[in-house]
Amino acid sequence: MSFRYGLRTFALELLMIAVALAFLFPVYALVTLSLKDPQQIAASPLSPPTSPTFGNFGDAWERASFGSALLNSTLITVTSVVLLIAVGSFAAYFIARRRTGLGYGMYVLFLLGIVLPFQLGMIPLFKLVDDAGLLGTYQGMVIFYTGIQLPFTIFLYTGFIRALPSEYADAALIDGAGHMRAFTQVVFPLLRPITGTVLILNAVFIWNDFFTPLLYLGGSAKETIPVRIFSFVGQYVSEYGLVFAGLVLAALPILAIFLVLQKYVIKGFSSGLKG
Amino acid sequence: MLPPWWFAVPALLVYAVVVLYPTGTGIVYAFTDWTGIGDWSFVGFDNFTKLWDDDAARGSVVNTLLLTIAIVVVQNGVGLLLALGVHTHIKSRALLRVIFFAPAVVSPVMVAFLWKYVYNPKPGEGLNGLLGAIGLGSWRQDWLGDPDLALWSVAFMVVWQFAGYSMVIFLAGLESVPDNLHEAAMIDGAGRWQRFRHVTWPLLAPAVTVNVMLSTIGGLKLFDQVYAATNGGPGYASETLSTVLYKQAFVFGNYGYSTAIALVLALFVSAISLVQVQILRGREVTAG
Amino acid sequence: MTIDNLSRRGFLVLTGGAAAMAALTACGGSGSGDDSLRLVGVADQQKPLDELTKAYGKVKFNASYAPTDQVQTSVRTQLGAGNAPDIHVVFPGNGSAMSMAQIAKANLLADLSDQEWTKKIPDNFKPAFQSGGKTCFYSAGASVIGAIYNKKVFTDAGITAMPTTWPEFLAVCEKIKQSGKIPIALGAQTPWITQLITYALVPSTVYAKDPDFDKKMADGKASFATSGWADAFAMYLDLQKRGYFNDNPNGTTFEQQTSMVATGEAGMAIQVSAVLPDFRKAAKNADDLSMFPVPGGDTADSGWIPAGIVVGLGVSARSKKLDQAKAFIEFLGEQKNINAWAEAVACVPLVQDSSSKIDPALDSFLPFLKNDKAVPFMDQAWPNAEVQPAHFAAVQELLGGKTTIPEALKKLDDTYRKG
């Protein structure tokens, strides 16, 4: 059945565009605020900028040492995400293939991680990282993120793997391949869509995380972007123009990645929903 | 044909070190009077009895539940509608997907900072200004200053940020409904609403499960947005369990008591999640 | 989809993680063990500290600044875990989780009493600096709470002289209202703003009549409910009743309050002098703004003002670089550096000499300080960290009509007695 773009569809298109415009209001606010100097923000924060200043972006970049913060954020995010995918997919494969007993027990154990409030373990974990000499290091942050995002990662991967027929892997095993090769060469490539999902959702979380980098990296040269941007927010003196300009700069890389991965993200969720 | 045990070892190791061990150790503090710094001593179950008598904490439970219900219902409702609207043949659907998802990409605390500008109570500014400009001036409110409205204003902000997230999950569910099922139904003479009810909706059950579970857990634990937008105010009008927990630990210096609250919150969330999983997974059906 | 492609891809992912970690370890290096001092401050301290750490050539600093809430949380966590920064932010006196008294109680602040500058701390400010007789806190000076006002709005309303009594203050507000502007901009949505008007009035209604009020409270011989606090709250709400605040104060933020005064939409805001730089940045002309003390008394002589030590620094008692950290504090205690810090945050220097430059906006406050008619901010004397937030919430509820003055005062008393 071929499709005709009729009047009804056009009306729907207009409606959705109107909704999108309403949705965009806060984004408009963000961009507008980033283009104003303190006087303009005081006078009328959300009116369209009549004389936009791009100075905020330059200032934010310089004063937040944005270049080095960008490097730090990227290093930590990329490494953590790669590890999460590597470690999480293996564990999820194990859990998904054993539906009862050990597999189920482990599944519940990891789900606990999504439910537990972060505050419970915060101080003991900090002590642990400190004793291990990993404060102020990239490794410390990567291990931290891998640990706390594993439950979510495994939650997503397990559902998707359960939907895959086991014939492919079994065929490879019968042919004499070891479990490692069966997984990496047969199963994992089929997981590309969910891997895209895991990638973008974890990347967004890690990229924007503020408190733990403050706690573990504060004062070092390895501070991430959110830590640097927040340093513009004081109690008495806040430079919101800089903050929002910094936010725009920080959001651009992640949005770019989302655009690229968009196809994988949606496909990933769809296949991940069976069982 | 089952994968070997060592497939799961790296994950278990990291998880045990980063989450299980510290949490287990941290739970001990729920039975002490620790302020967070200095010395402490065991107080048995005192913190828990104190929690039982604590009016502020009990009131916050109501807020937490209301907030969660609002978020789960509205965010997923809007997400579903957006998904249905975008899962059509309109020309701008690719761009629209990005626009609706984009807010989820910004840090929640910053979203709260931004929305404080939007929620300016002055008639000519922000949301009130927008309402006035399109002739809905009578809808203007004191969004964050009105104690009856503050919590819902925060809920609205959260829904705005994550409706696109829910939309993406629903979209995936919609795209997994085979076209031939739709066509078969249409040939059988079913109208749009009937097609939705009998073909689309049952096959969306897995997407509903994921969305409802994630938004419930997220709503019950919601902290950053509430704290940054209202700090639990005006007065105590928008306090949730998470804001109470945080204030007890880091503002009042009652760390042991706060850990007890965190433990109760964790049990609460686990119980609700378990019930949810049972109910929702019962509904799921595969397309065969 | 050849086998070669698949194996390459699969192994890349697996080894990618390991390789990345190895690479990071190589270029990351260890986090500690170098010779720099770790310093954590609130964002408001960044300006003076950037200057001063640069001027102090003897040691390198790893400095980090963040908003007050987050710094409180992170430094407290680090204190609790036994690894606090060598030098970190500390709030004066008592009354909050990161206040000098609370941290000193846990024996986590180094004793600075042997440093020269500590001998010059004025007597009435000593409680802010000392715990158990030992000075363990450094601050560059005191800020005052008063009315930051827009000169143009005042002259347009026909006001020629600053009010020196409460009735005169009300008259001034009325004149501004008649001229079509908002007399007092109030941003009560931001919690710490709520306390400022109370703090501006309580010195006159309570301490002018009973200077030992704090001691009496601590001994249980006085309470909020039976004191001039009730008068202060009544005056606060009276301003609202007369329509001298903007609409919806509970929904108006600190930033919105600032912009109202800076743009001339409102006549004044009751504020702490530390925010003068921010107000000036938002105004078209920085000279449009100045400050005057809020007259809480019935006669010109009976008014007292609040003057509080500004947020400062402490040295961690467990620091492994104790001597270097203390040396930096000694450096900060030199007169010229006290002057520099005070100038950067628009406060009155702790100790003054001929080269001290005090912001002209603060001139009208100096006589009060000289004549001992100044009281530290009230929370610095409170025994626990719950009273101040209770005060914030009480004001918001009072402004919103959700509670009464007696109920609010009772709540404050109950929280105070938690000890």
Domain residues for the domain of B94 are: 65-238
CATH architecture observed for domain C37-140+310-353: 3-Layer(aba) Sandwich (3.40)
Nearest to A24 among B19, B99, B115 (CB): B99
Is residue A114 scored above 60 in pLDDT?
yes
> Quick check: B121 and C397 CB within 8 A?
no
Q: Which chains touch B (3 or more CB pairs under 8 A)?
A: A, C
Nearest to A137 among C28, C77, C255 (CB): C28
Give the model's pLDDT for residue A105: 86
Give residue limits of the domains in chain C.
37-140+310-353, 145-308+374-416
Q: Has residue B271 been placed in a domain?
A: no
Q: Cβ of A42 under 8 Å from any chain C Cβ?
A: yes
Tokens of C109: 């602040």
> Quick check: B145 and C76 CB within 8 A?
no
Is residue B44 scored above 80 in pLDDT?
yes
Give the model's pLDDT for residue C49: 94
Pairing of strands C374-375, C305-309: parallel
A77 shares its domain with A43:
no
Is residue C248 scored above 50 in pLDDT?
yes
Q: Residue A195: closest CA among chain C residues belongs to which residue? A: C13
Segment C99-124 shows an average pLDDT of 92
Give the model's pLDDT for residue C30: 43
A193 shares its domain with A101:
yes
Q: Is the dihedral of CA B144, B150, B154, B157 positive or negative?
A: negative
Segment A77-99 shows an average pLDDT of 91
Domain residues for the domain of A34 are: 7-53
Q: Has residue B254 been placed in a domain?
A: no
Q: Residue A174: closest CA among chain B residues belongs to which residue? A: B1
Q: Which residue has the tokens 């109208």?
A: B191
- The larger pLDDT score, comparing residue A15 to residue B203, is at A15
CA–CA gap between residue B258 and residue B163 (Å, rounded): 31
Chain C segment 228-257 residues within 8 A of B by beta carbon are 247-253, 255-256
Chains A and C form CB pairs within 8 A to the count of: 173
pLDDT category, C206, cuts 50, 70, 90? very high
Q: Which CATH number is associated with domain C145-308+374-416?
A: 3.40.190.10
List the alpha helices (DSSP H) in A100-239.
102-115, 119-131, 138-163, 167-174, 179-181, 188-190, 192-208, 211-217, 225-230
Per DSSP, which regions of C117-167 are E strands? 130-131, 134-135, 141-150
Give the tens place of pLDDT for each residue, B105-159: 888 888 898 898 889 898 888 888 888 888 888 888 899 999 999 999 999 999 9
Q: Cβ of A104 under 8 Å from any chain C Cβ?
A: no
CA–CA gap between residue C124 and residue C131 (Å, rounded): 14
A219 shares its domain with A84:
yes
The alpha carbon of residue C80 is apart from the nearest alpha carbon of chain A, in Å, by: 7
Q: What percentage of residues in chain C have a pLDDT greater than 70?
A: 92
List the alpha helices (DSSP H) in chain B.
9-15, 21-27, 46-53, 55-70, 76-86, 93-101, 108-118, 126-133, 150-175, 179-187, 192-195, 201-203, 205-221, 224-229, 241-246, 255-283
CA–CA gap between residue C128 and residue C125 (Å, rounded): 6
What are the residues facing C313 on neighbouring strands? C89, C138
Give the model's pLDDT for residue C394: 95
Q: Helix or strand or coil: residue C418? A: coil
CATH number of the domain where residue A72 is located: 1.10.3720.10
ipTM of the prediction: 0.84
Q: What percentage of residues in chain B have a pLDDT greater than 90?
A: 27
> Quick check: C250 and B252 CB within 8 A?
no
A23 shares its domain with A95:
no
Residues of B in contact with C402 (CB under 8 A): 147, 235
pLDDT category, B177, cuts 50, 70, 90? low
CA–CA gap between residue C38 and residue C25 (Å, rounded): 22
> Quick check: C189 and B250 CB within 8 A?
no
A69 shares its domain with A48:
no
| Interface probe with A: pick from B31, B64, B68, B107, most Cβ of A within 10 Å | B107
> Quick check: A183 and C20 CB within 8 A?
no
The alpha carbon of residue A20 is apart from the nearest alpha carbon of chain C, in Å, by: 27
A240 shares its domain with A106:
yes
Q: Residue A146: closest CA among chain C residues belongs to which residue? A: C17
Give the tens place of pLDDT for each residue, C15-38: 555 555 655 555 444 444 567 899
Domain count, chain A: 2
Q: Cβ of C108 under 8 Å from any chain B Cβ?
A: yes
The alpha carbon of residue A241 is apart from the nearest alpha carbon of chain C, in Å, by: 12
Domain count, chain B: 1
Q: Has residue B149 been placed in a domain?
A: yes
A105 shares its domain with A36:
no
CATH number of the domain where residue B192 is located: 1.10.3720.10
Chain C segment 126-185 residues within 8 A of B by beta carbon are none
Give the model's pLDDT for residue A250: 87
Q: Helix or strand or coil: residue C271? A: strand
Neighbours of B63 (CB within 10 A): 22
Q: Has residue A58 been placed in a domain?
A: no
Residues of C in contact with B234 (CB under 8 A): 188-189, 250, 396-397, 399-400
A25 shares its domain with A87:
no
Q: Cβ of A20 under 8 Å from any chain B Cβ?
A: yes
* Residue whose C-alpha is closest to residue C168's, from C289, C293, C290, C269: C293
Give the model's pLDDT for residue A207: 92
Please name the amino acid found at residue B13.
L
